[in-house]
A and B are shown apart, each in its own frame.
Chain A
């Protein structure tokens, strides 16, 4: 255990932690939004994210990028990247809506137990992972480097690069957009109403099925956009990429208090930073164990998370 590395690389670890946290946040929001309206963990959300990364790779190969080009001029990069984000969002958003209809809706209307919904979602998650594993032959898919990763400037030990700034700026725009949708539109009002009390909101004329579909759509779109940023930052994907990202994002959502949007944001950044610091001390191998330990400790010590509602009181 060498703690001095945390001190010497503090700025670098912090920057990476914030970038990773921003990506987690985009995925964690999907968990938290769906939990808000359905009181259900969308187990297949990580696969929605995985499909986004696959779409991103697919789009670049259609556009003819092989990974050996020089970095594109900035304006061309933005055009290409916007296209990737849109494609990934459309695929992920669409997949999330279909997932809701196939795996959840009928069970919800039957009034089946939550165990049934959860098992159905696990089934859907396995179906998607394995389909993509066979389609890609279990290979790693590389994302071409279209943006220069040469540091723009150095701040203490942190190298500030274009891709990190892109992730942070993109995530900030999406967070702002989500805030507008949730707090300033009729649809957002519907989501908040169903989150508070589904039965009463039905009586008030809210079309619950429509609100739920839109919630899955928003969660899927955010995960899709997050997957595009993930690909720019990590540049590689695989059919099982969703599992660890999903667990981290879920942990972040629980840490912030699941069902709470602001909590998911803060939880994501906190978890991203914590992962970077502990990975520097313990070694990268133990990063995922650390995530699980954080999850277990949060659920045991403060199951409501930092800002959440009382989970234990929610009937299961």
Chain B
């Protein structure tokens, strides 16, 4: 199906964006961002989901998946490192937040950088040895890492063992918004703010040297190395940045859900986030977010999907790869041209 696989909405919008004046761009930015901030204020039965309110679905899974998918996109989409253990960073962030919040008097804002730091540290510890490998081997190693983190959490009594950690305190009030268990909206706004910062940061990096290095590595690692790109360094940075975003997502999640168990951090979640990235369009932030929103929202909305969603996603990954290997909203065409036909 050549037409279906070539049509690229992203390019259409990209062309418009390139020609737009600074005023038009600024206006679009403000409009889109305020639209997203206003989303939880909508109360409409059409978008409500059968099980939970639209507001709580907005926080988890939509905003959470989007944040993690954007983080994983730096690793998988930008640099072509297949990471099947992304949930490990999420788990490390969640456990770091929970442990510090329970054992020390630090509050959420002080622990958040710590959670990201621990996730980054884990990224270095795993990445330094593992990133020397490629493709399939790296995928298996990262998968193993994700499972090791979970099994270690189950078997370590000091961090709650299989029962996990409970009664984790939430963040302190911010600008008059209380972070309570009942109201998911402040958490949504918090996640959205983090997401906006991450998108901004990743876009900045993508347009500069690291972004070019990542693309070169993804397209052909050997050639990139010959051209003087320090491949291990940039792969490691991609891994660490992705890990930090996952860690931040984990900390926010733990602060909202208030109790965490090792069984929350299974391979299924890694695959779920990977499916968002692949489905939406590897390498393109907007595509990845679209993927996260669709794959997060549909199973909540359609009950028959939530029972069978992993089957559905498995099938989707196979079909997507066969028909439209670059996802719904692929990255820019100039990058696609060089790929093998």
Contacts and interface: CB of A to CB of B under 8 A. Distances in A.
Nearest to A124: B318
Interface string B267-300: 1000100110010000000000000000000000
B9 interface: no
B69 interface: no
A116 B319 CA distance: 11
B14 interface: no
A316 to B, nearest CB: 4
Nearest to A133: B310
Interface of B: 80, 82, 84, 129-130, 132-137, 139-141, 143-145, 147-148, 151-152, 154-155, 221-222, 267, 271, 274-275, 278, 307-308, 310-311, 313-318, 320-322, 325, 339-341
Interface string A112-144: 111111111011111111110010000000000
Contacts, number: 126
A67 B316 CA distance: 39
A111 B341 CA distance: 7
B135 A123 contact: no
Nearest to B76: A115
B94 to A, nearest CB: 20
24 contacts: A41-B140, A103-B318, A106-B322, A115-B80, A116-B321, A118-B82, A119-B278, A120-B318, A120-B321, A123-B316, A123-B318, A126-B313, A127-B314, A127-B318, A129-B314, A247-B147, A292-B144, A292-B147, A293-B148, A295-B141, A315-B222, A316-B134, A316-B135, A316-B221
B133 A299 contact: yes
Contacts of B148: 289, 292-293
Mostly helix, strand, loop or mixed at chain A's interface? helix
A127 B313 CA distance: 8
A113 B140 CA distance: 17
A194 B315 CA distance: 30
A134 B308 CA distance: 8
Contacts of A128: 314
Contacts of A295: 140-141, 144
A312 interface: yes
B318 A303 contact: no
Given A127-B314, A315-B222, 19 more contacts: A41-B140, A111-B340, A113-B325, A119-B82, A119-B278, A122-B274, A123-B315, A123-B318, A123-B321, A130-B310, A247-B144, A286-B155, A288-B151, A289-B148, A293-B148, A295-B140, A295-B141, A303-B137, A312-B134
Nearest to B133: A299
A177 B137 CA distance: 30
